[in-house]
Structure 1
Amino acid sequence: MPRFLVIARYQAQGARAVMAAGGSARRSAFEHAVLDLEGRLESFDFALGDADVYAIVELPDSAAAAALSLTITGGGIASVRTVALLTPEEVDRAARLHPDYPAGPR
């Protein structure tokens, strides 16, 4: 199953929710959404800095990843950025592919 890195920044309402219910409750809510999309939560960590949460999830496809992002962002508690992750073997395969693409004008 494809893996995605989900990076979230809490809005004020989201930060208040973490403070009120705790970090474990937010992780549980996130995991519930991932499971509802037939995915699996691999890791969920809070962070200090530009983002508040870094999570790695397995999801069936990009549509499921987009649904997760849209649902969380639409709820108004956080803004989300989702990054598709590649395994070393996928990068090996990509390195063997050579699409025709001209470097300059034709």
Structure 2
Amino acid sequence: MPKFLIQATYTAEGTQGLLREGASGRRAAVEQVVSGLGGTVEAVYFAFGEHDIVLIVDFPDPVAMAAVSLAVKASGALHTRATPLLGLDEVDEAVRRQVSFRAPGAPGPAGA
């Protein structure tokens, strides 16, 4: 299952909801949303600084992650960023794949 790192910052309205529900209440809400789309929650951490909450979740496909992202952003309670995470095997597979790429301004093949 694809794994995602989600970083979120609460708006004032979202922070008020957190104060009412507590961290446990928000984790339960996250687990309900994620499991409802066939995913699992690996980790939930609250943080200081730019992001208020950091999650690692697994979804059956990227479309499920997009659906959650759209619903959460539409609520106006959080600003989020989802980053796909790759395992070691996936990166090893990427390394083995041939990619034909020419950097901008780099010379092309002879005679081109």
TM-score normalized with structure 2 length: 0.90
Identity of aligned residues (%): 40
Deviation at 1:65, TM superposition (A): 0.6
**What is residue 47 of structure 1 aligned with on the other side?**
47
Q: Which has the larger radius of gyration?
A: 2
**What is residue 26 of structure 1 aligned with on the other side?**
26
Deviation at 1:48, TM superposition (A): 0.6
Separation in 1, partners of 2:107, 2:64: 38
Q: Does 1:86 align with 2:86?
A: yes
**What is residue 99 of structure 1 aligned with on the other side?**
99
Deviation at 1:98, TM superposition (A): 1.8
Separation in 2, partners of 1:4, 1:62: 9
Q: Which amino acid aligns with 1:17?
A: G
Q: Which amino acid aligns with 1:79?
A: H
**Structure 1 residue runs without a partner (length 5+):** none
Moved over 6 A (4+): none
**What is residue 58 of structure 2 aligned with on the other side?**
58
Separation in 2, partners of 1:97, 1:6: 28
Q: Which amino acid aligns with 2:20?
A: A
Alpha-carbon RMSD = 1.0
**Structure 2 residue runs without a partner (length 5+):** none
Q: Which amino acid aligns with 2:76?
A: G
How many positions carry a matched residue from both structures? Answer: 106
Separation in 1, partners of 2:107, 2:60: 39
